[in-house]
């Protein structure tokens, strides 16, 4: 299963979600690959990998047509594999314009790796860019992390429209697999109202698990560790383990 973690709005916990879902799924004995598709390389550094000294990255896979397996590295501390990224990827969008069938470049690159893993998690950039498009075309499902605030609802509407157009034109397999409420503060009245609106409009698409605002969760990336290895007793760790369990139940339970 290839899952894109996407939201064009920055600062919603997208990379935090990607890293911690990957780590929790790996802890549940799933074979996991985390693909960093963001030129900022935060999923790479947040996994404890130096993006500057990395030999090969997502850029080489997209632009130089390198086999994905040759660029993938193992994150021993977290038990998942990583296709890293760094600032080189920022030039990929311009270079992709000259490549035929560019929207399918990541999908084609991951084809050989798909059978190796139970889950491939793609951390998309915080924009509706060509890189994000390649991530959504490669994916079978999308998880949308979002804060429960007014402007986030507007962004969600735009993203769902984009996903619908991609489904119609480029990737009929693509489905929204869940909407995740992140950085949630139950004391905030607006957050609760937006949360209620999400459930009213999207029903079961909204994960029951809510990711709280948590200092330990915010600290973990600076140590290059997923939260479950930084502080497994924290609220953030417990929430992400619950999310992974909910995701597995949602995706692996047979009708």
Q: What's residue 150's pLDDT?
A: 73
Report the alpha-carbon distance of residue 166 to residue 9 in Å, rounded.
Answer: 19
pLDDT in tens, 37-60: 999 999 999 999 988 888 899 999
CB 145 within 8 A of CB 14: yes
Number of H helices, E strands in the chain: 12, 8
DSSP strand E in the chain: where? Answer: 2-5, 32-36, 73-75, 80-83, 119-123, 141-147, 175-184, 206-212
Report the alpha-carbon distance of residue 45 to residue 75 in Å, rounded.
Answer: 11
Is 213 a residue whose pLDDT tops 90? Answer: no
Q: What's the pLDDT band for 111 if we cut at 50, 70, 90?
A: confident
pLDDT in tens, 8-46: 877 788 999 999 999 999 999 999 999 999 999 999 999
Is 254 a residue whose pLDDT tops 70? Answer: no
Domain encompassing residue 164: 2-252
Q: What's the pLDDT band for 237 if we cut at 50, 70, 90?
A: very high
**Tokens at residue 101, please?**
């069938």
- Mean pLDDT (whole number) for 70-95: 89
Number of domains, the chain: 1
- Mean pLDDT (whole number) for 187-210: 86
Pairing of strands 206-212, 119-123: unpaired
Is 255 a residue whose pLDDT tops 80? Answer: no
Three-class DSSP category at 19 = helix
* CATH number of the structural domain spanning residue 24: 3.40.50.300
Three-class DSSP category at 127 = coil
């Amino acid at each position: 299963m290839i899952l894109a973690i996407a939201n064009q709005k920055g600062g919603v916990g997208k990379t935090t979600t990607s890293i911690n879902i990957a780590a929790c799924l790996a802890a549940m004995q799933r074979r996991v690959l985390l693909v960093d598709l963001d030129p900022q390389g935060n999923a790479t550094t947040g996994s404890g990998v130096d993006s500057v000294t990395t030999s090969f990255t997502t850029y080489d896979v997209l632009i130089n047509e390198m086999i994905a397996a040759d660029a993938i590295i193992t994150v021993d501390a977290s038990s998942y594999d990583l296709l890293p990224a760094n600032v080189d990827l920022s030039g990929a969008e311009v270079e992709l314009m000259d490549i035929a069938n560019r929207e399918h470049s990541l999908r084609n690159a991951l084809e050989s790796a798909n059978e190796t893993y139970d889950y491939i998690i793609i951390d998309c950039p915080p924009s509706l860019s060509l890189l994000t498009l390649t991530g959504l075309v490669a994916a079978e499902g999308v998880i949308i992390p979002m804060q429960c605030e007014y402007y986030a609802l507007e962004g969600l509407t735009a993203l769902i429209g984009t996903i619908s157009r991609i489904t119609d034109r480029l990737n009929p397999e693509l489905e929204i697999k869940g909407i995740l409420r992140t950085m949630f503060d139950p004391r905030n009245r607006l957050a609760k109202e937006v949360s209620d609106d999400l459930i009213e409009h999207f029903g079961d698409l909204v994960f029951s698990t809510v990711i709280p605002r948590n200092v330990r969760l915010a600290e973990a990336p600076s140590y290059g560790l997923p939260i479950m290895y930084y502080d497994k007793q924290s609220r953030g760790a417990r929430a992400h383990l619950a999310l992974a369990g909910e995701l597995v139940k949602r995706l692996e339970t047979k009708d």
